[in-house]
Chains A and B, each alone.
Chain A
Amino acid sequence: MMAISETADVGSRNMDEKAKPRFSSDLPQVWIGMAFIAVTGFVPSLLGNSYWVHTFQLVNIYIAAAIFQNFLFVDAGQKSFGQGVILGLGAYVTAIFFGLHDYPFVMAAGLGLGAAALGGLLFALPALRVQYFHLGFVTLSAAIVFPQLLMSLDRWTNGINGISVQMEALHHETLFGLTPLTIIVALYPMLALWVHYFIRRSQLGRQMRVAAVSPEGARSLGIKPGYMRFTAFVIAAIGTGICGVLYLPTVSFVSPQGFNVELSFVFFFAVVVGGRGQMLGPIIGIWIVFILPNIALAQFVEYRLLIYGFLTLLTVILFPDGVVGSIERWRSKRGVTGRGEQAFRVDSFLDRLKGGKPVEPTDEIVVEVRGGTKKFGEVVAVDNADLKVRKGEIHGLIGANGSGKTSLLNVLSGLSRLNSGSFVINGREATRMAADRIANMGIGRTFQTPRIYPQFSLWDNLKVGIDARTGEPNDDIVRLAEALEKEFREDSAALLSHGQRRLVEVMRTVLKEASIILFDEPAAGLSQSERANFSKLVRFLSRQLGKTIILVEHDLDLVWGIADTITVMEQGRIVASGTPDTVAKDPAVQHMFVGGRRA
């Protein structure tokens, strides 16, 4: 009897787990991709078809380059039109040292790889300062200039004649007609897939993706977006540089025409057509973009560019997710079932965090602004403001629209800088600190529009909070994280309601173990019952977890219900500050309550 019920139990649990389809198909896509590459890489050799052997050697190298383009494009958000340059640098420098100066191949390849990495640095340096379309132009320019340089620096590059190399050892047939080269160039794109997969699953990968879609959100989590872009360009350059090194023995010849703008466009367009961000995207993309015009339409070589262009334009307009992305979208749509209010509740999780007796605010000052002034052109958003926030208190910041509350909040979180005055956080001068450093001092914040990343599972959306932690986690948080992971690992965050999104942001700051939390109009858009729950949550954060809360909010009932101290702003100035009772009686703020709450 016992045994039967136990089995039944296990069975039902399995059913439960089955009921949730995988949120991310990255891993199956990697396995399918490996199978595709293995088939196209090895089967032509087994059949003894040397044309296809050679073609797929090149295709596999291009697939690897497109995988790194995909990583750079989607995970890091950088549109590079110059990856062909990086590949060319790897190939050409290797060819120069190996073919013209008789260096050993390994040494020449090392130099080629170094050159590719340096090329990546050329892209990465401006990326530290700027982003967006600027980098697109920098990389496109590089793609235009590179073949010109190969031509004009003919003293070193042999100019238009190019460089031929012989590498017999790699072309010797071994088992089943496979040459060492065939095996290497098939294994490399497989390795590239795994590299992409593991970076994406790592803390670095998550932070990169956050920085790519929301730089402010990233900085409030202690991430430096410029550094993320820089790292991504360098990683992509090394990966693509290896493609260049492999290109040399495969083609046995390099010339300037081989590395014109067209090559860079092939990688870029392949990613778009195949499906941006999908693991399989670059493989399917290269097959369509490179093989189709080159082989199926071999007689129309001059139409190749035209076909690339049209394929890409049609993809963007008709099915912007690309081939694999469209299939993936259909799959995830089929699997997604909205869970309504059950989708994200945190009460039961937070109950586990409950300490012993409640914590009361102390008199220690953790945030202090002295004479802070912030101007936008002629407009004075914050005007000589003084503010003191005690440790552990809930500090309400109220005032009409445009009175400078959010500006002050942005200053405190480092997203904008004071024109004059100063402020101190946890006893440290923070006036000129960058947002990511302030975040690393234990500040967490939420935004008026919650920063939710739909490409992440619900759990990964929370996990970026853990990634942002600076110290060792406390045991309770570790247990909380484990419980949350178990529950939300395969859930999508895309269907969450506004209130639930707000909760995700709050939980993120809890997991980050921020000691000071800044809320920017958290109740806006919440229903009455959600507001009540939110009040309880804020109270809990302050009294049970001992966090200091600064709350910018228009809902005066909510603020008066939970705040320990209230500061009133008007036209950038602070006009009143004190306990809720004294502020309510202050004549300077009476007019705010006309028709409103307790007069």
Chain B
Amino acid sequence: MLLEITVIAVRGIAIGSIFAMIAMSFNIVHGATGILNFAQGNMLVLGGFAAFFLANQVELGWWLLMLPVAGLLVAALVALQGWVTLLPLRSSVEQDSWIISTVSVSVILGAAVLITQGPFAYTVESVVPSFRILGVRTPGAYALAIGCMIFWYIAMRLFLKKTFIGLAISALSQDFDAARAAGLPVRRLQIIAFAISGLMVGTAGFLVAPVISISSDAGLRYILNGFVAAVVGGIGSNLGTLIGGPLVGVVGMLTAYKIGGAYQDLASLLLLIAILMLRPQGLFGRSSARRV
């Protein structure tokens, strides 16, 4: 009994940390642009992809070296995606073409993975050894996931509060027109926000590669769960993702153990509908999801 609770809690929180990082990467882009990147889950998978090609079965030193490389590669790709996504928004009256373009990028990435590897998931060997919590063998990558989440939470907090670029991005999320009027290079800041979100999910994907499924259809499932984590915590609140992510992870694990693994995504969907109906602004949300 205790064993089962430990397994559910540890795995749930660890997997939930991945969702939390996707949610945080949503937040920075959403704050700066109003865009929610539907391709963010595929970007995480690409981080895992990078781990498979750059750092599978390697020594610790090389692995540590490749971590920032993977992060920067994904960051560059997301920055490019951001630039493309923002192109039609420059002049168009219609401001929601981003939903279409980010969804299509998500589909393109999923298809590209399918073509290069076929429908089967890659497996990456863990560099960090597994360890025991209360007698339960736990893959090292789970600890990395939780550590990575905490690292990015603190890093984002410092970045947004202490650096000039971070403050400027915060200003964008407060009042877009005022920031533009104040002479901030809005477009460049938005691309930087995209790049940072890429760095976040790229490194996360690299670190947790041994425990995630690196396959063509995984991206959509991460996007779903990451979004639920963001909504539960309140879109825009990084603190909220620290609660929302693990909560979604634990609910998923609980479902997997009690009902069956096939119902995890259903549980997330029901959680999403419930929170949208009962508390659309989430636990810590400042901007309401509910528009008149």
Contacts and interface: CB of A to CB of B under 8 A. Distances in A.
A136 B104 CA distance: 13
Interface stretch (A302-310, A384-392, A400-408): A302-310
B269 A309 contact: no
Interface in A533-589: none
Contacts of B289: 130, 132, 134
B64 interface: no
B265 A141 contact: yes
A129 B290 contact: yes
B190 interface: no
Contacts of B99: 79, 133, 136
Nearest to A308: B107
B263 interface: yes
Nearest to A215: B292
Contacts of A306: 107-108, 111-112, 115
A435 interface: yes
B139 interface: no
B292 A219 contact: yes
Interface stretch (B15-23, B71-79, B162-170, B271-279): B271-279
B260 A145 contact: no
Q: Which of A79, A131, A137, A435 has the most CB of B within 10 A?
A: A137
A313 B104 contact: yes
Interface string B214-229: 0001001101100110
Given A133-B36, A134-B231, A145-B266, A125 B277 contact: yes
Contacts of B291: 130-132, 215
Given A303-B111, A317-B88, A320-B88, A141 B268 contact: yes
Nearest to B30: A133
A517 B218 CA distance: 54
Nearest to B105: A313
Given A134-B231, A216-B292, A305-B114, A152 B269 contact: no
Given A130-B280, A134-B276, A215-B291, A316 B221 contact: no
A148 B112 contact: no
Contacts of B94: 320
Contacts of A122: 273
A144 interface: yes
Contact of B262 (A131, A151, A308): A151
A447 B96 CA distance: 23
Nearest to A77: B96
A144 B224 contact: yes
Interface string A281-325: 000000000000000000000111110111011001100100000
B292 A415 contact: yes
B262 A142 contact: no
B100 interface: yes
Interface string A238-275: 00000000000000000000000100010011001000
A81 B99 CA distance: 11
Contacts of B231: 134, 137
B107 A265 contact: yes
A133 B272 CA distance: 13
Contacts of A309: 104-108, 111
A81 B269 CA distance: 14
Nearest to B36: A133
Q: Which of A129, A130, A141, A148 has the most CB of B within 10 A?
A: A141
Interface string B92-135: 11101101110111111011101100000000000000000000
B87 interface: yes
Contacts of A215: 291-292
B96 A145 contact: no
Contact of A305 (B111, B260, B272): B111
Interface in B220-262: 220-221, 223-224, 227-228, 231, 260, 262
A124 B285 CA distance: 23
A305 B272 CA distance: 27
Contacts of B265: 141, 144-145, 148
Interface in A191-220: 215-216, 219
A305 B103 CA distance: 12
A303 B112 CA distance: 8
Contact of A435 (B104, B110, B292): B292
Nearest to B281: A130
Nearest to B221: A144
B41 to A, nearest CB: 11
A132 to B, nearest CB: 6
B107 A129 contact: no
B262 A129 contact: no
Interface string B175-200: 00000000000000000000000000
B230 to A, nearest CB: 9
A43 interface: no
B277 A129 contact: yes
A442 interface: no
B155 interface: no
A261 B220 contact: yes
Interface in B56-92: 84, 87-88, 92
Contact of B273 (A125, A261, A272, A303): A125
A415 B292 CA distance: 8
A138 interface: yes
A528 B88 CA distance: 37
A225 B292 CA distance: 7
A126 B276 contact: yes
A45 B182 CA distance: 66
Contacts of B92: 320
A140 interface: yes
Q: Which of B84, B94, B100, B114 has the most CB of A within 10 A?
A: B100
Contacts of A81: 103
Given A125-B277, A141-B224, A148 B262 contact: yes
A305 B110 contact: yes
A310 B108 CA distance: 7
A282 to B, nearest CB: 15
A138 B100 contact: no
A269 B111 CA distance: 15
B129 to A, nearest CB: 33
B101 A137 contact: no
A316 B104 CA distance: 10
B42 to A, nearest CB: 11
A189 to B, nearest CB: 23
A145 B289 CA distance: 23
Contacts of A107: none
Contacts of B221: 144
Nearest to A415: B292
A136 B37 CA distance: 12
A120 to B, nearest CB: 14
Contact of B269 (A136, A145, A308, A310): A145
Given A219-B292, A310-B108, A130 B276 contact: yes
A170 interface: no
Given A148-B265, A306-B112, A316-B101, A138 B88 contact: no
A141 B272 contact: yes
A76 B112 CA distance: 33
A140 B105 contact: no
A478 interface: no
Nearest to B274: A126
Contacts of A130: 276, 280, 289-291
Given A138-B272, A141-B224, A265-B103, 18 more contacts: A79-B96, A125-B277, A126-B277, A129-B290, A132-B289, A134-B280, A138-B269, A145-B265, A148-B266, A152-B262, A261-B220, A305-B111, A308-B104, A309-B105, A312-B101, A316-B104, A317-B84, A320-B92
9 contacts: A79-B96, A140-B223, A141-B268, A149-B266, A225-B292, A305-B108, A309-B108, A313-B105, A316-B97
Those 9 A-B pairs whose CB atoms lie nearest each other, nearest first = A309-B108, A305-B111, A152-B262, A309-B107, A306-B111, A312-B104, A313-B104, A141-B269, A215-B292
